[in-house]
Amino acid sequence: MLRMTPQTPATSSDEPFVLPLCAIFRRSLKRAGLKFTPERAKILDAVLSKKNVFEAEALLYEMRQSGHQVSKATIYRTLKHLMDAKIISEVLLDAKQAHYQLTYGKEPKGHLVCVETNRIVEFDAPELMALRKRICKEHGFDPVTHRFVIYGVSPEALQTPEAEVGEEPHE
Amino acid sequence: MLRMTPQTPATSSDEPFVLPLCAIFRRSLKRAGLKFTPERAKILDAVLSKKNVFEAEALLYEMRQSGHQVSKATIYRTLKHLMDAKIISEVLLDAKQAHYQLTYGKEPKGHLVCVETNRIVEFDAPELMALRKRICKEHGFDPVTHRFVIYGVSPEALQTPEAEVGEEPHE
DNA sequence: CTTGCTGCAAAAGTTTTGCACACGT
DNA sequence: ACGTGTGCAAAACTTTTGCAGCAAG
């Protein structure tokens, strides 16, 4: 059990892989001639604490809450590095701002987004890996990551009488 | 008048469906108490001329090129209306800006994006419809649209010797 | 008249960048 | 000293909004 794809470090027990990612990050930074600074460590920690998709701004806010002073610029710069290290990847759910998700060693989650309430549900869709492999092969690409987002109307919004869908009972 | 089942345009011959969409748009506007103005018509035209994914800015630029003066604000406002009419939908390929694609009556294209060169390849993946239906059913959602984007390294970028990401050849 | 539309410019929001200073080697 | 990092503030960019004047029913 706990076996995971290529790079997955089999950590002790229930904690998924907290230490290893730190090492992964450090290694990635070193390879690029960069340093593993306290700020970067703290940001990585904050990222690891996120179980779902998150925004840069939320990270900043939460870190401030818990007394970890980091500047916005550093957050953004570090998120980039985390992407280089393939620890996180961007999920683009709306046009307003980028969201991120932890994806190291596992395949990206799919996201189901309610167009009315913006509720986000994560789901797994393992078949996407095969699909992406096939498509990439067809075009000679080397796959890096992928995103699958479904937009729909959530049950809550569906049963809501007539909030603001824009649909008037005209016809 | 050009009957149109939800998914099948079946226009005369090779032209996909240029007239109908205009009608669709007009109807959608009317239903919302809005008007089909010359500006909106021109923007729709510009949109219809796009065979691939496009950005708001590109639309603005091209319209200016061809002598159609429209303001940026109007472009954005109209793109929204076109989305309401389900004629186009947003594709979010990167965090910088929204892209749009014509999707009326057909399922959204998938996109394969080269992380090095930003080349974009469109592809069909019909199986996604079934998948989205299944996921939506599982969560009680009513599907509206979906997006599938694969990121990878294109063949060109792969064979490029050393123009690596942030790796300079040590000046 | 009332409602909606456009263009302009300003505003808003997210992300990036320039700069000055700090740290580790 | 050097290269890299950080914070701050300003800049850059895309997208939205307020407003004045216009067009149409």
User: Which residue in A125, A130, A52, A133 sits closest to A93, CA to CA?
Assistant: A52
> Tens of pLDDT along B133-146?
999 999 999 998 89
What is the length of chain B? 171
Contact list in B for residue A95 (CB cut-off 8 A) is: 90, 92, 97-98
Q: Which nucleotides of C are covered by protein (CB under 7 A)?
A: 3-9, 13-18
* Segment of A36-45, B103-112, B115-124 carrying the highest mean pLDDT: A36-45
Say what the pLDDT of residue A46 is: 94
- Half-sphere CA count of B14, side-chain side, radius 13 A: 0
A105 three-class SS: coil
Q: What is the pLDDT along chain A (171 residues), one digit of tens a residue?
A: 333 344 444 444 445 544 588 999 999 999 999 999 999 999 999 999 998 899 999 999 999 989 898 999 999 999 999 999 999 999 998 888 999 999 988 889 999 999 888 889 999 999 999 999 999 999 999 998 899 999 999 999 887 644 443 333 332
Q: Which nucleotides of D are covered by protein (CB under 7 A)?
A: 3-9, 13-18
Instruction: Give pTM, 2 decimals.
Output: 0.80
Say what the pLDDT of residue A94 is: 86
Residue B69 tokens, joined: 């003066």
Q: Which residues contact B65 (CB under 8 A, 6 or more apart)?
A: none
Give how far Cα A132 sits from Cα of A5, A33, A90, A123, B129, Å.
16, 32, 17, 17, 15
DSSP A59: H
Cα distance between residue B50 and residue A76, in whole Å: 34
Say which residue, B161 or B119, is predicted with more confidence: B119
What is the length of chain A? 171
Residue of B nearest to A98 (CA): B95
Say what the pLDDT of residue B112 is: 94
Provide the mean pLDDT of chain B. 83
User: Which residue in B86, B90, B93 sits closest to B121, CA to CA?
Assistant: B93
Say which residue, A133 or B167, is predicted with more confidence: A133
- B32 band by pLDDT with thresholds 50, 70 and 90: very high
Say what the pLDDT of residue A38 is: 94
Give how far Cα B58 sits from Cα of A136, A144, A165, B40, B106, Å.
28, 28, 30, 16, 23
Burial environment of residue B110 by CB neighbours within 10 A (0 to 12, 13 to 18, 19 or more): buried
B95 touches chain A (CB under 8 A): yes
User: Which residue in A100, A44, A102, A103 sits closest to A70, CA to CA?
Assistant: A44
Cα distance between residue A82 and residue B25, in whole Å: 43
Say what the pLDDT of residue B15 is: 52
Q: Which residues contact A133 (CB under 8 A, 6 or more apart)?
A: A143
- Half-sphere CA count of B105, side-chain side, radius 13 A: 16
Say how far B83 CA is from D21 C1', in Å.
28
Say what the pLDDT of residue A106 is: 85
Residue B137 tokens, joined: 């059913």
- B160 band by pLDDT with thresholds 50, 70 and 90: low
A99 touches chain B (CB under 8 A): no
> Tens of pLDDT along B35-67?
999 999 999 999 999 988 999 999 999 999 999
A12 three-class SS: coil
